Amino acid sequence: MSTIFDKILEGDIPCHKVYEDEHVLAFLDIGPLALGHTLVIPKERKAYLHELSDEAAAALGRVLPRIARAVMEVTGCDQYNILQNNGPRAHQAVFHVHFHVIPKPNESSGLGIRWPSASLDGGAGEELASKLRDAIG
Ligand code: AMP
């Protein structure tokens, strides 16, 4: 399924580009939560992070810190969030993988987070970690 980010990648609709290489495009979010809110996307057309090839994932990992440094330098903001949503319940609206780089200049702008933490039980935690280790392989 084609998304608005495909149209940006194809040059059919404009964006405020901040970075591009063989695997990655970064551009300003059209609805910024704070000045400098930037989206970093793979050129690979996948909806969710877990679908990405190792090559696309590595390319994203390589450039994210560089883009974060540029956003910090240009906005003068020394704190920020990296957000990456997968699925509509997880707040994803555009089904092409994207990382948000969102400056957090003060309490009232940038990303707001609800963090309803529970407490990890030691025994159940070890069982779960073991299953995850097996799943990762
Ligand atoms: P998400 O909820 O993680 O899927 O976020 C999608 C983001 O894409 C939102 O922050 C939108 O403001 C942003 N967005 C949607 N269309 C465009 C566009 N044409 N150019 C730049 N950002 C866009």
Residue nearest to atom 18 of ligand 1 (CA): 30
Ligand 1 contact, 85 CB (< 6 A): yes
Q: Please state whether beta strands 24-28 and 38-42 pair in parallel, antiparallel, or not at all (unpaired).
A: antiparallel
**Global model pTM greater than 0.95:** yes
* Backbone torsions φ then ψ of 69, nearest 5 degrees: -60, -40
**Amino acid 1: pLDDT:** 78
**Amino acid 132: pLDDT:** 98
How far is it between the farthest Cα atoms of the chain? Answer: 53
Concerning whether 98 is annotated as a catalytic residue, the answer is yes
What CATH number corresponds to the domain at position 96? 3.30.428.10
Distance, CA of 50 to chain centre: 13
Domain count, the chain: 1
pLDDT in tens, 72-131: 999 999 999 999 999 999 999 999 999 999 999 999 999 999 999 999 998 999 999 999
Distance, CA of 5 to chain centre: 14
Which residues constitute the domain of residue 79? 4-136
pLDDT in tens, 38-82: 999 999 999 999 999 999 999 999 999 999 999 999 999 999 999
Question: Position 46: which residue type?
Answer: K
Cα 19 from Cα 90, distance rounded (Å): 26
pLDDT in tens, 6-49: 999 999 999 999 999 999 999 999 999 999 999 999 999 999 99
Going from the Cα of 31 to the center of ligand 1, the distance in angstroms, rounded, reads 7
Distance, CA of 25 to chain centre: 12
